[in-house]
Structure 1
């Protein structure tokens, strides 16, 4: 299997996951009582991390490899998108999830979580479309 196909599969996996998070998981947080949310959130983040972390690390590693091997518009835009996603994840979402885990929860925060996550949802969606289009074009 080529590195391009592995990258495309990673991009696809992440776009599916982010849409599930955006449309199902994060909005569901609003339907929990605070104590139940904290219990569920701690279980959810531990379980979900075992899926998303390897995908994100794989995507990043392959993107770094691709930009080193062939620095073209596709690889540069890809790495920029991925860096933006990582920055957003660690600067915005890790702190919010940390607060939830500590029991610092409000409806306003949970609504903000959904709104802010649109940035990652759009970036991962565009990245997948870009990768799919690039791969489809260059594999002909």
Structure 2
């Protein structure tokens, strides 16, 4: 049996987010530690502004599609797990990662904070990868 249009759209948003988070984890966050104060402040401002145009539509689409598929499936177990994982990405982004970025802005540059951001971000890498794997099942 093939994927429905909604399942295909969900898989596309999931794959988009997993590719993005792996790029953030392996390229973008580690690069933060290699800036000086002036360069970091300028680059981080540009990064935060521009990444929002990519992340927000993908995360919003993922949340809406996850909720729709949960409802449409009659609350099947895998859809419940998917929805909870997607919700955890929203919560962790809003409650932990966004404030971490705000600390970086306030402190104008902090190598230990950059390192902490990179290390703790493995949580999002793992969860978004699991979301993709669950939707391939």
Q: Same fold (TM over 0.5)?
A: yes
Matched, 1:39 2:42: yes
TM-score normalized by the length of structure 1 = 0.91
* Runs (4+) off by over 6 Å: none
Aligned-partner Cα distance in 1 for 2:47–2:17: 17
Tell me how far 1:128 sits from its aligned partner. Answer: 0.5
Tell me how far 1:105 sits from its aligned partner. Answer: 3.0
Q: Deviations over 1:3-60 (max 9, x none)?
A: 0000000000000000000000000000000221110000011111101100000000
Which SS does the other structure have where 1:58 is aligned? Answer: helix
Gaps in structure 1 of 5+ consecutive residues: 134-140
State how 1:1-140 maps to structure 2 within 5 Å: 2-70=5-73, 71-133=75-137
Gaps in structure 2 of 5+ consecutive residues: none
Provide the aligned C-alpha RMSD in A. 1.1
